[in-house]
Amino acid sequence: MKMQALGALVNVELKKLIRHPVNLFMNLLFPALLTVVFMFTFSDPELGMSINSVVPGLVVYAVIFLIMTVAQSFSSERKLLRRLNTTPMTSTEFIGSQIISNMIIAMVQVVIVLFLAYLLGFRPESSFEGIFLSLLVTAIFALSSVGLGLITATISKNPEMGVGFSFLFILPQMFFGTFMPLSSSTQEIAKFVPSHYLFDALKLIFEGNWMNTNFFLDLVVISIVSILVVLMGIVLFEKYGSR
């Protein structure tokens, strides 16, 4: 892997985040907006939800919406991907740049959500190490969003379809894997939703209760699922998506 090429591609992805209005909104402004709205709406003690349970869900929301931006980006840039394919760039460099840039974006999202939540009264029990750990766990989970984004791009013929199909993966994770109240049967479904484990891990971190087996299991599931999903996304997109 050539670091010069990898660095150049990561640089382009981060410029895309800042300069592309849709990406800027979806990746940075949308999580900020969600944080403000949800903090006011759901953190009311009368609803039986604590701020500490809402904030992990907001981080999850921010990261799962990466699926949409990855899918849209890949399905709208097929011509460019074909051109990049005529250069000595390897697929490892290209996918590596997508993974690194989306991990960076995910970490920035965590910082935005936590900063705004703090301003609105969120006080996590965890120390600075815990905050750092939340960045790390979220960055690992971002891999699954890149993978699901690639799978979405593979089945989408154009960016509009990419946005539409991305909700196939976003909605279940939003409703089954965060702070939405679940019945006993839907709680079983939640166990098959990756975001459930990120939500649980972040909740444990923010409660200052992460030095235990539950957190370790969450971390293992997040890591294995994210790596498998991103590998599946890479294989499917390389085989069928870049045509």
Partner 1 sequence: MSANIKSVLEGLNKKELFEIANQNKIIIPNSWSKLLIVELLALNVSADNIQRIKAKPSEPKIQFEGSSTIIIKDLVKKFEDVTAVDNLSLEIMEGELFSLLGPNGAGKTTTINILNGVMKPTKGTAIIAGFDVTKNLDEVKKIIGSCPQEAAVFKFLNARENIELFGKLHSVSKNELKERTDTLLELLGLTEVSKRKAGGYSGGMLRKLNLIIALISDPKIAFLDEPTVGMDARARRKTWEFIGSLKKENKTIILTTHYIEEAEALSDRVGIIDYGKLVELGTPKELMERYKAKNLEEVFLNITGRRILEGI
- Give the footprint of partner 1 on this chain (CB under 8 A): 2, 4-5, 7-9, 11-12, 15-16, 19-20, 79-80, 82-90
Nearer to partner 1 among residue 12 and residue 29 (C-beta): 12
Which of 59, 64, 89, 87 has the alpha carbon at shortest distance from 229?
A: 64
CB of 98 to partner 1, least distance (A): 14
Which of 124, 102, 101 has the alpha carbon at shortest distance from 113?
A: 124
* Residue 181 structure tokens: 């109240």
Q: Please, what sign has the CA dihedral across residues 52, 17, 148, 144?
A: negative
Q: Write the DSSP string, 101-165.
A: HHHHHHHHHHHHHHHHHHHTT---SS-HHHHHHHHHHHHHHHHHHHHHHHHHHHH-SSHHHHHHH
Nearer to partner 1 among residue 96 and residue 209 (C-beta): 96
Nearer to partner 1 among residue 91 and residue 127 (C-beta): 91
Nearer to partner 1 among residue 85 and residue 187 (C-beta): 85
194-206 and 159-176 are packed helices; what angle lies between their axes, rounded to 10 degrees? 50
CB of 27 to partner 1, least distance (A): 14
Which of 230, 161, 163, 177 has the alpha carbon at shortest distance from 57?
A: 177
CB of 102 to partner 1, least distance (A): 17
CB of 79 to partner 1, least distance (A): 4
CB of 4 to partner 1, least distance (A): 5
CB of 87 to partner 1, least distance (A): 4
Q: How far apart are CA 206 and CA 14, in angstroms?
A: 28
180 torsion bin: left (phi>0), alpha (psi -120 to 50), beta (else): beta
